[in-house]
């Protein structure tokens, strides 16, 4: 008599509903231990929670860096306007308007592509610091605290943007 062989059908992952082949212990999409032990499951949830928390924190820092770019744009535009109203300095108005536009564009871009937007924003800021040092060497020490704060915010945002873990992205959600 022929022996009856029962093939177990591959299950859908209990966490993200991707198909998990019977040969695998873990889901290849989200890492859920579909055929694992209870310890594996609790380890999965704690690790995921930790990483999601870290990702949320990183997103907040990116947001702050984005806001820093908007504030820079505002400051630079209004100082251009002010110098035009007081001194009729058309050059400064044009320069500062172009710069403010650049900062706004980079701020919006860093919403879509945080690494590139913040990287270019930081490099633009460094360029302007060096340019102002060339034009007026005494200006290096002016507003040193403010300059440091801007660099720290942009730097932290850039750093966080590079640390987001895609496999723990909120898009891979519990179904």
Partner 1 sequence: MYKNCLHCGSLIPKESNFCGQCGQGVTLGEWEKNRPHYSAIIAFYLTIIGFIGASSLMFSQADVSFMSTLLVEILFAAIIVIYSLFNLDSILPLYTKPDVPRRVWMFNLSFPIFSSFLVYYSMDSLNTWLDLESSNTYLDNIDLDYPMLWTVISITLLAPIFEELAFRGYLFNHLLKVTSWQITVVATAFLFSLIHFSMVSLLWIFPFGLVLGYMRYRYNSLWLVMLIHFIHNLIVVGLDYYYAQSYLNEGWY
Provide the binding-site residues for partner 1, judged by CB under 8 A: 20-21, 23-31, 33, 36, 40, 44, 90-91, 94-95, 98-99, 113, 115-116, 119-120, 123-124, 126-127, 130-131, 133-134, 137, 162-167, 172
Strand extents, DSSP E, the chain: 11-12, 19-20
Q: How far is the CB of 146 from partner 1 (least distance, A)?
A: 20
Q: How far is the CB of 95 from partner 1 (least distance, A)?
A: 4
Give φ, ψ of 111 to 5 degrees: -70, -35
Query: Which residues make Cβ contacts (< 8 Å) with residue 10, sequence separation at least 6?
Result: 19, 20, 21, 22
Q: How far is the CB of 145 from partner 1 (least distance, A)?
A: 22
Q: How far is CA 85 from CA 35, 69, 173, in A?
A: 72, 24, 54
Query: Which residues make Cβ contacts (< 8 Å) with residue 31, sequence separation at least 6?
Result: 44, 48, 167
Considering beta carbons, is residue 75 or 116 the nearer one to partner 1? 116
Q: How far is the CB of 51 from partner 1 (least distance, A)?
A: 9
Considering beta carbons, is residue 75 or 115 the nearer one to partner 1? 115
Q: Which of 71, 58, 61 is nearest to 125 (CA)?
A: 71
Considering beta carbons, is residue 1 or 134 the nearer one to partner 1? 134
Q: How far is the CB of 29 from partner 1 (least distance, A)?
A: 6
Considering beta carbons, is residue 64 or 97 the nearer one to partner 1? 97
The rounded distance, in Å, linking the Cα atoms of 107 and 111 is: 7
Considering beta carbons, is residue 1 or 60 the nearer one to partner 1? 60
Instruction: Identify the residue whose tokens are 């750093």.
Output: 159
122 with 158: CB under 8 angstroms? yes
């Amino acid at each position: 008599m022929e022996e009856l062989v029962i093939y177990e059908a591959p299950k859908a992952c209990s966490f993200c509903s991707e198909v998990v082949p019977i040969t695998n212990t873990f889901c290849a999409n989200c890492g859920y231990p579909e055929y694992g032990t209870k310890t594996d499951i609790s380890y999965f949830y704690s690790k995921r929670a930790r990483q999601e928390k870290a990702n949320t924190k990183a997103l907040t820092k990116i947001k702050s860096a984005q806001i820093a770019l908007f504030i820079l744009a505002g400051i630079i535009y209004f100082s251009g306007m002010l110098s035009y109203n007081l001194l009729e300095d058309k050059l400064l108005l044009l320069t500062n308007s172009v710069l403010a536009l650049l900062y706004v564009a980079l701020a919006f871009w860093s919403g879509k592509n945080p690494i590139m937007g913040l990287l270019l924003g930081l490099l633009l800021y460094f360029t302007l610091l060096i340019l102002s040092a060339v034009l007026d060497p005494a200006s290096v020490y002016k507003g040193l605290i403010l300059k440091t704060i801007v660099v720290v915010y942009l730097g932290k945002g850039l750093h966080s943007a590079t640390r987001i873990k895609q496999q723990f992205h909120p898009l891979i959600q519990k179904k």
